[in-house]
Structure 1
Amino acid sequence: MYTQYFGLRENPFALPPDPRYLYLSLRHQEALAHLMYGITQAGGFVQLTGEVGTGKTMMIRALLERLPENVDVALILYPFLSVEEFVTAILDEFRIPRPERPESLKVLIDALNRFLIENHGKGRRTVLIIDEAQKLSREVLEQIRLLTNLETTKEKLLQILLVGQPELDHVLAQPDLRQLAQRITARYNLKSLLPKETAEYVIHRLRVAGAKQPIFTRSAIALLHRLSGGTPRLINVICDRALLGAYGLGRNVVTSAMVRRGAQEIGRAAPRRYAIAAGIAAIALLAAGLGGWQLSARLTPAPAAPEAIPVEVAPAPPPVAGGEPATANGGAAAETATEPAPARVEDLFNDPAIALDTESALAALFAQWRRDYARLEGKTGCQRAQSIGMRCVYGSGNWNRLRQLDRPAVIELLDAEGRRHHVLVTGIGDERVALEIGGKAREYAIADLDRYWYGKYLSLWTPPPGRHAAFKRGMRGPGVVWLRQALARFNGEPMPERASEVFDRALEEQVKAFQRRHGLDDDGIAGRGTLIHLDVYDGGRPTPRLARLARESS
């Protein structure tokens, strides 16, 4: 959703490994050199280990791209196999015809051996790469050892690369696997990035995606390293969330506060006292003299707002003239024509007549609230929402999360070619989802959409009156009155004639009960998440709700 806003061609922090984004730190270069040597020169086994998210899969792809033309490779990604299934998978990867009726494992091994001898006679090398090797059974590991017995008088016929988490070392250290461990000729343990490498990693990915200037401030990069521990996968996830936050606020740079909030959304938070340490680390990064986009004051503009970003604290601007409230009729506020859905979700992606861009999806979203997206002020959808007193709510979750949110939402679909598409969800059933595209309603099976939706969504909500971002016991004011009225509607109770402006213990218990009902932390504080869910029960400005789709009869 933010790529066009930041002048990017694509999402620079997508999780699927893309060799174009490969960043080779000094450690990654050493690891690649070890792997290349072990596979092209040595015999027996080569081992690569690393913690989750350190880039092992990307290293495999980088290795495959650099192997000589005379190397044939089989890649086994699924470790939970029996011995027979494992050998069969190797035959399939090398496209070796299976025996019609293999009477025993020996028949399969003989077929593999014939292929290896033929390949060797052609002057070709044969390599087997096994990912998630720490999960292999003892029986399969023993069979892997036996495969290295396939050899000529001068060299091994099969080179094997074991890739896994550090637990692989403990597995191979067992006494009954010592013969296999002794055959490992090259080992490398992939470490996390150093602070300077984290900065270079972020810069590299942004440049590949098409950015022309720095987007992250120095302090943001320093905090990012602390929160991620230098783990590339976590860096990607936090950066993605931070960029989405900056987009929602209409900011051109990502500050440390946005990085902190992005990390909190995925369950990784840092204490506020880290701000000083982040500043010191930023100075160290500057002194390092990074090439390319230097993280310097000359190239990185100062953030437009202080590090703390109270998104919901600012008072809501008055609604634009002519705006009509949405109707709370249990379904979509804007009427849509019904059209038979294409047979497959893929047909949506390949039909040039169907608009799946971000702006079209946002226009459809605003129409649910009876707002003309094109006539509102602001560069981004979230800025336009603020111009009418609303706010964006974005996050990552599943269909149950959208059911709990209970309002139309734009979701992002990623097709097989890595292209991103945005569509509006207007209804959810047990098995199907209703989408609105180009003013037409289409329904798809949840199982089909799950192949393309990775959990990202964006919707709208209206903050309650007052300047408070959260309400808790002891506070008073019109916002507390609104809170009481919304909870009364939720509970189906009559509106009190004179609602108290004081947030007392009884109201706190009502808030806790509401939070438990909606899967929220029951702390009794009506913060942003609680207020977003209560927004549906605002009688003065009805919120469009998701349609409930009937279950299909079998």
Structure 2
Amino acid sequence: MYAPFFGLKQAPFSIAPDPHYLFMSERHREALAHLLYGLDGGGGFVLLTGEIGAGKTTVCRCFLEQIPANCNVAYIFNPKLTVPELLQAICDEFDVPVPAGAQTVKDYVDPLNAFLLAQHAAGRNNVLIIDEAQNLSADVLEQLRLLTNLETAERKLLQVVLIGQPELRDMLARPELEQLAQRVIARFHLGALSEDETAQYIRHRLTVAGLTGALPFDSKTLRLIHQLTRGVPRRINLLCDRALLGAYAGGQAQVTPAIVRQAAAEVFDERPAAATARHQRSRLALGMAVLGAALAGAGLTWQLQQSSQSVQAGRAGRSGAMGMAQPASAASAAASASAAARAASAVTPPASAASSAAPTPEPLRLADWAPQDGEAWAGLAGRWGLPLPPQADPCTVAAEHGLQCYRSASGSLSLIRLIDRPVLLTLQRPGRPPALAALVGLQGQDATLWVDGRPRRVALAELAGAWRGEFLTLWRVPPGYARRAEDGRPLREWLAARLAVSAADPSASAASTAASAPPPWPELARQVQAFQAGQGLQPDGRVGPITLMQINRAAGVAEPRLDPAR
């Protein structure tokens, strides 16, 4: 309707996934790269999540176009299926014949396994893509995990790509799905467009639609569109389409902020953010006034004042929260350092000082807690006996004391249990910035966090809803690791001594091993592989941080541990 008025050949903001309007932001390209990387991972799961309308389907279409010709692809877009229905759908997609009247899981798995083996022998790979995977039930996810057990001596026979909304990440973080989560070899969460990318996206679609003149949105209006849509492409399409229609109806060649706000009220059925915030503030002020008057009559006004001060303090704490392992900004460094100093004075020393008679920590609801990064760092550093001077970068201070920060964006609860040491978890909660929490204990289905200078208990199921796998911990650096000599002798001597102590033969001693020349790297790599296999690690022979943590633990080196009694 409005296209000719703006000099366009067609409507530019349809929500249909038209390939002519494909816009790949940096985030979309990175998501595509993760999916393509997963194809070479030798089997297992690849995970792509994103908000509704973030562009997951766009990335999936590009992924399908770039899958190599030697790959068989099965695509399932309606995963609300039972286990037999899922297996039947997979066999249908791969054109696998099944026995007439097939009903049991075995009736489908046996011919599917034979098909995958035959395709592997022919040099072909097999990829299963499941869209809207947040709708998968727990038993179906478990069956998918079992399907990835189909393998030869060299590689897995089936690669599974799961695409879904953020709830999918929450599902895989549940303790009962931990085995599946361990098989995710690549994962990416597709975030929203930035303000600059939003402007580029709008300009791109208008240009493809035939725009040759001036853009009908100025910079102020584009900024408002980004605020109202939060950078989600589908919301951008809906809002821009209605805004252009509104400008056309009013005979205006330029879309004004007022038109955009009116369009947002119509298509999103919500007030613009500023108006909503003012409305909420006015309601809060009115409610506080009424409550204050009521309490004053009972002589309890002082309680209202104390409550107000607590709310303000909580807001200040939340505003100072920052992402995991990022240096504090100049504005918040002093506050974080102050919180760290207060918390450090109450932190348990690095030795396992927890008494077996220690009381059970009080329960904690994450929704009621405003974590502070400084306090979390103090909780971790205190257990290592590591001082944290004000405004200092914790990882820099750790390096000065022979420690290093180890970061992972794809951890799991099983890995935390394996390394058995306090960690900083990055919590992601709706409507709040990322924040750090110090995990200091694990027992059964409960975790212990360091809160306000004391341990607090939180259910693992609740923690899983806020933790996406990102964590940080400290580890002690062996001699010669940072700057390895040409022959690596200091590190080889250290490895040989530690492996001897941690070996099954109790007669081996670090002293006797150090007295003789350390074995060459090939021999040490074989010893490391044997150690890794015994510890449940991937036996690749590489001497990485996780392996070194476990070598220290097996050799009895005094390092902080998770407290199982809390």
More helix by proportion, 1 or 2?
2
TM-score range, shorter-chain basis?
0.3 to 0.5
* TM-score normalized with structure 1 length: 0.48
* TM-score normalized with structure 2 length: 0.47
